[in-house]
Amino acid sequence: MRRAELIFAAILAAFSIYLMYMAQIPPLQIGWVPKKGPGSGAAPFWLSAGMLICAIWIFWRGWKGATPQGRSTEPFMDSYTTKMVAVTVGSIFMMFLATHFIGAYAAMFLFLLFYVGVFGKIPWPTTIAVSIAIPVFIFFLFESGMKILLPKGMSEPLFIPLYKMFVY
């Protein structure tokens, strides 16, 4: 935990410097424009400078052990947590990626099938019911109710008859 605290503070400091660099690329001005007040880069630049100071301060406090995280000797993530986070973030990542190809509904279905059934170890009949019910619910709420079209990818042709029935 202590190492994570210090490394994260260092990353934040680096990120602040990157933001400061981004905020001063011309034509953004970080100084005081006469009669106009601060330039358009001023707010992000000086606020990022403040972030940098805070990040250093956080690092220093962590180093001295002034925060509970700075003193903690527990590992940042135990094996259960690592697995849980990796599976969750990974499967959501795959769902988004799949959306670009097979569309949101198919991606959602696969995600639910995996997360509820395989990872959550919920009995399969329930899993399948949930994996079908949720996308159907979302279709009716978003497409026919709110007229918000979710991406369909290559599954588009399947939806054309559904539009006729529910969206018009």
Partner 1 sequence: MTVTRRSGFGLGVAGAAAFAIAGAMPAAAEWKPVKPVEFVVMAGQGGGADKLARFIQSIIEKNKYAEVPFIPINKGGGSGADALRYLKDNQGNDHVIMATLNSYYTTPLRNPGIGVNIDEFTPIARLAEDTFVLWVNSNTDIKSVDDYVKAVKEKGTAWKMGGTGSGQEDSLVTAMLEKAYGIKETYVPFKGGGTVAANLVGGHVDSTVNNPSEAIGFMQAGKVRPLASLTAKPIEELKDVPTFKSLGKDLVYRMQRSVVAPGGISPDVAAYYVGVFQKVFESTEWKDYCKKNALQCSMLTGDDLKKYFADEKASHEALLKEMGEIK
Partner 2 sequence: MELLSHLMDGFSVAFQPFNLGMMALGCLLGLFMGAMPGLGSVNGVAILLPITFFVPPTAAIIFLAAIYYGAMYGGAISSIMLGIPGASTAVATTFDGRPMALQGKADFALVAAAVASFVGGTISVILFTLFAPPLADFALRFGPQETFALMVLAFATFVGLGGDDIPKTIFMILLGLVLATVGLDNISGRPRLIFFDLQGFYKGISFIVLAIGIYGIGEMLWTLETSRGKVEIASNKFTFKRLGEALKELKRAWKTMTFSSFLGYFVGVLPAAGATPAALMAYGLAKSFSDTPEKYGKGEISGVAAPEAANNAASTGSMLPMMTLGIPGSPTTAILLGGMVIWGLTPGPLLFIEQSEFVWGLTASLYAANLVTLMMNLALIPLFVWVLRMPFMILAPLIFVLCFVGSFAPDTRMFDPWLVLLFGFVGYVMRKLDYPLAPLVLAIVLGPLAEDSFRQSLISDQGDWTPIFTRPLSGIVMGCAALLFVAPMLKGMLRKNKAKAASGEQS
Least distance from partner 1 to the Cβ atom of residue 146, Å: 10
Q: What token pair was written down for 80?
A: 């259960």
The three-state secondary structure class of 117 is helix
Residue 61 found at the interface with partner 2 (CB under 8 A): yes
Contact 45, 24 (CB under 8 A): yes
User: Using the rule CB under 8 A, which residue among 10, 30, 54, 102 binds partner 2?
Assistant: 54
Give 155's contacts (C-beta < 8 A, 6+ positions apart): 102, 103, 105, 106
Site for partner 2 in 96-135 (CB under 8 A): 96, 99-100, 104, 108, 111-112, 115-116, 119-122, 126, 130, 134
User: Using the rule CB under 8 A, which residue among 37, 125, 157, 161 binds partner 2?
Assistant: 37
CA distance 137 to 133: 6
Tell which residue, 112, 82, 85, has the closest CA to residue 98.
Answer: 112
Q: What token pair was written down for 139?
A: 């279709």
Contact 95, 107 (CB under 8 A): yes
Which C-beta is closer to partner 1: that of 101 or that of 163? Answer: 163
Q: Could you list the residues that contact partner 2 (CB under 8 A)?
A: 4-5, 8, 12, 19, 22-23, 27-28, 32-41, 43-44, 47-48, 50-51, 54-55, 57-58, 61, 67-69, 76, 80-81, 84-85, 88-89, 92-93, 95-96, 99-100, 104, 108, 111-112, 115-116, 119-122, 126, 130, 134, 138, 141-142, 145-151
